[in-house]
Amino acid sequence: MSITPEPVLLFLVKEYRLRPTHPSAMALYDVFCALGAAARLRTPAVLPPRDLRLSAAIGSIRSQWTELHSPQQQEEGVRISTSVPHRDLFDSLAAALLQDPDGPLARVARQYDPDRTPHQNLPGGKMNAVQKHFVEKVWRPLARPTLVAAGFWQIANIE
C-alpha cells in the first residue's frame, strides 16, 4: 500500500468533511493534488492541469488564509471577510476515485486482503525498493508531517 495514496486520501476526505479548515484543505491539495505533489493521485482527469476547478477553489482558500495572517490583520479595526471552506470540496475527487473501475483504488481493492496484516499483504512480506523509497523519502519527511500539522492527527500513526 505504501505507494498507493488513494485510500489514504479517501480516509482524510471523510475526516475533512467533519471539520473543514483552511489548513486542512490546503494540505490535502498540496500533498495529493497539486502538480508535483509529494503523493499525487493517479487520477489526471480530475486534477490540474486537466481540471482546474479544485485548484481555483484552493487558490481562493489560500488567499483568504494569507490575508487572515497578514500584518494588516493585526491592526485594530481592519476586518477581513472569511468563510469556512466547503465541506464537499474534495467530494468530486473522491467520487472519481471510487467510480473508476480501472483506477488505482480498484487495483488496490483487488489486491489487498483486509483479513491479512499489512505485512502479509506485501509480496514476500517486505517492501520493495520503490515502496521503501516512498515511505522514507516522501511519506515520512513530507506528506505525513504536512497532514498532521494541518490537523489530521490520526494520520500520525501511519507508517
Domain range annotation of the chain: 6-157
Answer whether 75's CB lies under 8 Å from 13's CB: no
Answer whether 16's CB lies under 8 Å from 87's CB: yes
Q: What is the pTM of this model?
A: 0.90
Answer whether 2's CB lies under 8 Å from 127's CB: yes
Give pLDDT < 70 ranges for the chain. Answer: 1-2, 72-81
Q: At residue 75, what is the residue type? A: E
Task: Note the pLDDT of residue 158.
Answer: 82
